[in-house]
């Protein structure tokens, strides 16, 4: 087919249906396993990292990288590329591994070879953490199944060998890592697909936290039995197994595991839920503080209700002239006489902390801006609270005791004057 004809066919297809960019191949790392008995008779596994490629095409296609182990994915009801959201190959991390069924045998209801099946897992991760996709690849083999299944007797794979495979099961999450605030509602995305209709599938959700594993949900398609909640049963029929966290708490934090079982296959994805609550920052004074020279005041900055524990509080001071300069202004000076209280644990398992210092008013500090800066991983930028100090000179007038004496003296003079006037008036009224 000529180049011009190929371009014409491409344009015609794009005119009729939406054009979707599909990856043709991906460089991958194949983590191979070599299982052996050591000198003490114990089983050990040696992991070998080998060059590999994930190639999409038809049976018999030549490998694009002859030196690598090529996993050629041919057509099936599942196209792994449709789960990659048109992502370019350079934005994907690809890892291939052998897949063990732990000795379980079950007929896979899809034609593909007279012998047994060899299984491999393929995990694709977006470089920026937008999604994770895991697929189980089925390689029909004309060799009979070994007496003892899987990892005890892996068939050797040579460098440059091509394995023709198809996708049997796919599981995907668009939320591999979630940051949630307290009391927020979160949806942990999980979808799956199988290459045949009516599979005997079981979907489960577990949460792992501090060494404990808790089952949150379970549904068996064959029996229709469900346990737990958080997953919509209607969505399961279409492959949507997303789990809802209705009211995030500190105890909601952990690793959530979405798993799909289609005998003899078991595939799962981990989703990390991190609780992050920003601190509420306040000062014990207003935006302006006036003190007389030599006066003292305890100044404190409170960071309340934050999670997790890692918070940083810094007090600094800056001259007013430097604060108004946008270019070339010196950095604020960090105060060294600041004390921190211990972290206080609140009833909702959040924390609080106070940073305080004793401010002694000096004329050189008048007009300076004091700033408390609080940093926490839940914040995109530090929270800053400031106040401006005004230092007043001591009053040069009379002391309080002297002022009181003057007032009493004036009152006494007025009283004497009044008595003198009254006495003169009485003398004028006498007849003698």
3-state SS, one letter per residue, for 76-114: CCCCHHHHCCCCCHHHEEEEEEECCCCCCCCCCCCCCCC
- pLDDT, one tens digit per residue, over 19-49 is 446 789 999 999 998 877 788 888 788 889 9
Q: Is residue 170 part of a domain?
A: no
Same domain, 159 and 210: no
- Residue 412 counted as domain residue: no
Q: How far apart are alpha carbons 282 and 317 in whole angstroms?
A: 17
- Check whether residue 301 and residue 361 sit in a common domain: yes
Residue 400 lies inside a defined structural domain of this protein? no
Shared-domain flag, residues 265 and 240: yes
Summarised one tens digit per residue, pLDDT across range 186-234 is 999 999 999 998 889 999 999 999 999 999 999 999 999 999 999 999 9
User: Residue 429: what pLDDT?
Assistant: 56
pLDDT of 162 > 80? The answer is yes
What distance in Å separates the CA atoms of residue 44 and residue 36, rounded to the nearest whole number? 6
| Separation in Å, CA 295 to CA 230, 367, 386, 395 | 60, 15, 20, 13
Give yes or no: residues 156 and 245 share one domain: no
**Residue 232 in domain:** yes
Best CA proximity match to 368, nearest among 316, 331, 302, 294: 316
CB 149 within 8 A of CB 106: no
Return the CATH number at 71: 2.60.40
Record the tokens describing residue 51, joined without a space.
């060059």
Strand spans (E) along 251-364: 254-262, 265-275, 280-283, 288-292, 296-306, 311-318, 333-334, 339-340, 344-345, 351-360
Average of pLDDT values for 343-372? Answer: 95
Last residue of a domain, one of 227, 242, 275: 275
Q: Say if residue 261 is in the same domain as residue 123.
A: no
Within a domain: 97: yes
User: Where in the sequence is the domain holding 362, given as residue range(s)?
Assistant: 280-392
CA 358 to chain centre: 38
Instruction: Characterize 37-71 residue by residue with b for buried, 16 or more Cβ atoms within 10 angstroms of its Cβ, and e for exposed.
Output: eeeeeeeeeeeeeeebbbbbbeeeeebeeeebbbb
Mean pLDDT for all residues in the chain? 86
Residue 336 has pLDDT above 60, yes or no: yes
**268 lies in the same domain as 286:** no
Give the mean pLDDT of 102-130.
Answer: 82
For residues 364 and 303, membership in a common domain is answered with yes
**Is 116 within a domain?**
yes
- Give the chain's largest Cα–Cα span: 155
**One domain, residues 270 and 189:** yes
198-202, 228-232, 238-242, 336-340: range with lowest mean pLDDT: 198-202
CATH number of the domain bearing residue 366 = 2.60.40.10
At residue 362, the 3 state secondary structure works out as coil
Q: What is the rounded CA–CA span in Å between residue 137 and residue 124?
A: 13
Which of 275, 290, 321 marks a domain boundary? 275
Residues 99 and 183 in one domain: no
Residues above pLDDT 70, as percent of the chain: 84
Rounded-to-10 torsion of CA 191, 206, 218, 197: 30
| pLDDT score of 432 | 45
Domain count, the chain: 3
Q: Give CA–CA dist 390/322, Å, rounded.
A: 17
Structure confidence at residue 400 (pLDDT): 54
Q: Report the C-alpha gap between 54 and 26 in whole angstroms.
A: 5
CB-based contacts of 6, cutoff 8 Å, min separation 6: none
Single out the residue in 250, 275, 300 at which a domain terminates. Answer: 275
User: Is the domain of 266 the same as that of 328?
Assistant: no
Rounded Cα gap, residues 145 and 356, in angstroms: 72
Asked whether residue 421 is domain-assigned, the answer is no
Predicted confidence (pLDDT) per residue in 291-301, tens digit: 999 999 999 99
Mapped onto helix, strand or coil, the DSSP state of residue 358 is strand
C-alpha 15: how far from chain center: 41
Residue 171 is predicted with a pLDDT of: 98
- Are 25 and 154 part of one and the same domain? yes
pLDDT in tens, 392-429: 987 655 555 566 777 777 777 877 777 767 666 666 65
Instruction: Kindly state the tokens that stand for 145.
Output: 């199944």
Quote the pLDDT of residue 97: 95
Indicate whether 67 and 136 sit together in one domain.
yes
Residue 217 lies in a domain: yes
The residues near 284 (Cβ < 8 Å, ≥ 6 apart) are 298, 299, 300, 301, 302
**Of 321, 286, 298, 294, residue with least CA distance to 392:** 294
């Amino acid at each position: 087919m000529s180049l011009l004809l190929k371009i014409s066919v491409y344009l015609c297809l794009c005119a009729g249906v939406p054009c979707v960019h599909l990856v043709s191949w991906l460089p991958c790392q194949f983590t191979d396993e070599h299982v052996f008995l050591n000198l003490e008779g114990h089983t050990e596994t040696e992991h070998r990292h080998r060059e590999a490629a994930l190639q999409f095409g038809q049976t018999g296609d030549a490998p694009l990288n002859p030196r690598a182990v090529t996993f050629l994915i041919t057509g099936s009801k599942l196209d792994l590329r449709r789960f990659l959201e048109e992502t370019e190959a350079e934005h994907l991390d690809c890892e291939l591994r052998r897949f063990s069924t732990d000795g379980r045998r079950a007929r896979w209801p899809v034609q593909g070879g007279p012998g047994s099946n060899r299984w491999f897992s393929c995990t694709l991760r977006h470089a920026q953490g937008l999604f994770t996709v895991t697929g189980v690849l089925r390689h029909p083999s004309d060799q009979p199944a070994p007496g003892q299944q899987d990892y005890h007797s892996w068939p050797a794979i040579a460098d440059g060998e091509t394995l023709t495979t198809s996708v049997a099961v796919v599981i995907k999450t668009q939320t591999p890592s979630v940051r949630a605030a307290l009391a927020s509602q979160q949806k942990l995305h999980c979808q799956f697909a199988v290459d045949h209709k009516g599979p005997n599938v079981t979907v489960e959700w577990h949460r792992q936290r501090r060494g404990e594993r808790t089952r949150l949900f379970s549904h068996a398609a064959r029996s229709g039995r469900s346990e737990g909640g958080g997953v919509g049963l209607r969505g399961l029929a279409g492959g949507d197994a997303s789990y809802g966290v209705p009211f995030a708490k500190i105890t909601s934090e952990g690793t959530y595991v979405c798993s799909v079982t289609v005998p003899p296959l078991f595939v799962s994805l981990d989703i990390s839920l991190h609780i992050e609550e920003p601190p509420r920052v306040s000062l014990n004074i207003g935006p302006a503080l006036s003190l007389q020279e030599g006066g003292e005041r305890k100044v404190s900055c409170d960071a309340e209700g934050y999670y997790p524990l890692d918070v940083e509080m810094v007090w600094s001071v800056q001259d007013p002239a430097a604060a108004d300069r946008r270019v070339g202004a010196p950095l604020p000076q960090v105060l060294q006489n600041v004390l921190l209280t211990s972290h206080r644990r609140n009833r909702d398992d959040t924390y609080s902390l106070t940073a305080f210092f004793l401010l002694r008013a000096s004329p050189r500090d008048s007009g300076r801006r004091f700033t408390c800066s609080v940093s926490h991983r839940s914040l995109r930028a530090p929270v800053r609270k400031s106040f401006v100090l005004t230092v007043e000179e001591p009053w040069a007038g009379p002391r309080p005791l002297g002022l009181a004496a003057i007032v009493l003296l004036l009152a006494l003079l007025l009283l004497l004057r009044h008595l003198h006037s009254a006495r003169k008036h009485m003398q004028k009224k006498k007849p003698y």
